[in-house]
Amino acid sequence: MSAIKNSVLWLTGFTAMSKPGQQFVKMMNKRGGRGKGKHGHSSLRIFNYHRVLPGRPRFVIDAIDVQEFEQQVKILTSCFNVCSLEAAIPALQRGELPPNSVCITFDDGYRDNYEYALPVLVKYNVPATVFLTTDFIGAQKFLWHDLVLWAFEVTTMECMTFDELGLQDARLVEQEDREKVAVYVLEKLKTVTTARRDELITMLYDRMAVNSRPQASYMLDWQHIREMSDLGMTFGAHTKSHVILSTLDDEALEEEIVGSKKAIERHLPSPVTSFAYPNGRKDDFDERAKKILRESGFQCAVTTDRGLNDRSQDVYALNRTAAWERNPYRFYGRLLLEGIFNL
C-alpha cells in the first residue's frame, strides 16, 4: 500500500498544477473529500515553520528559503482558507470551520520572521501566529541548538572524540560530515537535563576549539513584535527558556508556561491564548502541562506531531504539518493527498 501511495504522491506532486491536476482538484472539491475529518466536519491543518531566510544557509535547522516560502503562501492563499489559529480553534470546536482551512505558525521567535516572512504574509494578506521563547526576545542570548550548530559551523577540527556523547573519531572535514555529527549531537543533547546539556555544550566548545559565539542578535525584539501585531500577526507562548516541559517539577513547569504568557502580555494589548510545546513530541509534555494551560487561560496548544485536526482532537495537543516540500508542485500535491488520506 505504501509503495502505491508513494507513487501516487510522487506523480501527483508533479502534475497537480497541470490541467489533469486541476481537474483532479475540482473533482476532490466536488466530492468534499479534501480536509474532511473522521466525523464529516472540516479538518484543520496547522503549518509549522521556524526560520525564513534568503538562500539555504547550512547549520541552520528548519529554515526555508524566502522565495520557497512565498511560493507556498501563494499556493495556500489561492487554494485554501488561511485563517488565524485563534479564530480557527473555536470554529473547529463548534463544527463550523470553513472547508480547507489552514493556519500558519512559526516557532521560537526568530528575527527573520520579521525581516523575511512578514513582508510575504502582508503581501498575501494572511495572518500567522508566532510562538515566542520569551527569555530570548530582545536579548543577546542564543538557543542551545543554535549554539551547537555554530560550533560545528566554525570549528577547524578535522576529527573529534567525545566519549560523553558517544563520539569516537568523528570526521569533521567536509560540511556534510559536520552536519551529520551536529544532528546526532542535537538529538543526544535532547535526552539530558538542562544543566547537563549546558555543561556538555561548554565541553563541546572546548573539545572543538571554538572560542567565538554567534555575533548578531538573531531573535525578535518587542518593537518587531508590536509592529507585527499591528499588521495582524498574533503571538503565542513557547515557554521562557525553551526547556522540555516533561523534565520539570510542578513549580518550574508553571513558571515556564505562565511566565512566558505574562511576559508577552506585558508588551501586547491582547491576551495570549495559544501555546507551542518546545520540541513538541508526545514525550515532551504531559497532563500537568495541559492542566496549567487550561487553568491559565490558554485556548489551545500545538505539538510537532504530524497530522490534521478534526473536531474530536484534543485542543491542547494539536497536530501540525512541517513545511516539508520545497518544490511547489510537490507541496501542492502532498497537501491534496494528505488531506484525502487524512494524514
Binding site for Zn ion (CB under 5 A): 107-108
CB 339 within 8 A of CB 45: yes
User: Which residue in this structure is represented by grid cell 501511495?
Assistant: 5
Residue with smallest beta-carbon separation from Zn ion: 107
User: Which residue in this structure is represented by grid cell 500558519?
Assistant: 104
Choice between 146 and 153, CB closer to Zn ion? 146
The least distance separating Zn ion from the CB of residue 109, rounded to whole angstroms, comes to 9
Cβ neighbours, 10 Å, residue 291: 14
The CB-based long-range contact list for 74-82 (8 Å cut-off, 24+ gap) reads: 74/124, 75/328, 75/331, 75/332, 75/335, 76/47, 76/102, 76/104, 76/126, 77/124, 77/125, 77/126, 79/25, 79/332, 79/335, 80/45, 80/335, 82/126, 82/127
The least distance separating Zn ion from the CB of residue 34, rounded to whole angstroms, comes to 30
Q: Which amino acid is at 235?
A: F
The least distance separating Zn ion from the CB of residue 48, rounded to whole angstroms, comes to 10
Choice between 208 and 225, CB closer to Zn ion? 225
Choice between 107 and 153, CB closer to Zn ion? 107
Choice between 133 and 155, CB closer to Zn ion? 133
Choice between 70 and 107, CB closer to Zn ion? 107
The least distance separating Zn ion from the CB of residue 102, rounded to whole angstroms, comes to 20
Please state whether beta strands 129-132 and 63-65 pair in parallel, antiparallel, or not at all (unpaired): unpaired
The least distance separating Zn ion from the CB of residue 306, rounded to whole angstroms, comes to 16
